[in-house]
Structure 1
Amino acid sequence: MDTRTADTADIKAIGQVVATVERTQRAKDTEGFLALFHPDALWTTGHGKVLIGFDTIAEFTRSVLPTASWDGEITYEVVHTQFLRPDVAAVKVRQLYRSPEGETEGAPLYIMTKQDDGRWLLHACQNTGVQAE
């Protein structure tokens, strides 16, 4: 199933998770960011660091996000949602960082799972930088 046949409410909910990733990153809201993860999540950072399980993701995030510094703006945009099952979605995101030095792009892939209460959570994620051509 793809976005043409998917439930509109699920598409909207997934978009809200991505918007919350953006908002919490900008605000350096560690706990808000961590609330988006499944307890068994897997996260690979843009620099290739593999974080397995919520506790590892939380430890890393709590050590880097509050002190992160940037002099630009970051945006996240859902560019494609592919439903693998009604409760599992592969979400391709365009991450754009604008600074005085120029733009840097990332292409995260979020595998999200729908919980029994209807919430969508980040379950397996890979943040990949886009190389300038």
Structure 2
Amino acid sequence: MNPKAVPTEAETADLEAIEGVVATVERTQRAKDAEGFLALFHPDALWTTAHGKVLLGLDAIAAFTRKVLPDAVWDGEVTYEVAHTRFLRPDVAAVKVRQVYHSPDGDTEGTPLYVMTRQADGRWLLHVGQNTEVRRE
């Protein structure tokens, strides 16, 4: 979508659905809900963590997530916000996310990029994800 263009009705519905997926990422991360998080992925997904671990396919993403998410420890909470969405095709969107871990020691940020695909049933799924830690200089 052109940043200056007014979204069509269909694009507005898609934007709302995409924001819903990102909100579910936030909710499932906070709840340490591995299965809820994994339900957001396309079977052929490619995921790269903020620390550079590359996970190819849902089986690899699931094994990693089930191992680390339930035992993840952080003080405070994490928030996710859609910063920008660009439709590459009507059924493919690049979604830039602002991820903030709020803690008593101060906030830290990540800047994920999700490529999401709309499925035949209308659901948007995470197809590619690359998270990058934001370093403060």
- TM-score for both structures, normalised by structure 1: 0.97
Displacement, 1:124? 0.5
Name the Cα RMSD after superposition. 1.0
1:91 equivalent among 95, 114, 119? 95
- Runs of 4+ with >6 A deviation: none
Counterpart Cα distance in 2 of 1:15 and 1:118: 14
Secondary structure of 1:102 counterpart? coil
Q: What does residue 5 of structure 1 align with?
A: 7
1:69 maps to which of 73, 81, 97: 73
Say which SS state the counterpart of residue 16 (structure 2) adopts. Answer: helix
Cα distance in 1 for residues equivalent to 2:14 and 2:31: 25
- Cα deviation, residue 71, structure 1: 1.0
Structure 2 equivalent of residue 116 of structure 1: 120
How many aligned residue pairs are there? Answer: 133
Structure 2 equivalent of residue 42 of structure 1: 46
| Structure 1 contact 17–120 (Cα < 8 Å) conserved | yes
CA apart distance, 1:73: 1.1
- Name the CA distance, whole Å, in 1 between partners of 2:126 and 2:2: 18
Partner residue, 1:17: 21
How far the C-alpha of 1:2 sits from its partner, in A, is 3.5
The SS at the match of 1:117 is: coil
Instruction: Determine the C-alpha separation between the residues in 2 that align with 1:61 and 1:2.
Output: 35
Distance 2:117 2:72 in 1: 28
For structure 1, list consecutive stretches of 5 or more residues without a partner in the other structure.
Answer: none
The alpha-carbon deviation at position 101 of structure 1 amounts to 0.8
In structure 2, give the amino acid aligned to 1:5: P
Q: Which residue in 2 is equivalent to 1:29?
A: 33
8 Å CA contact retained: 1:41, 1:122: yes
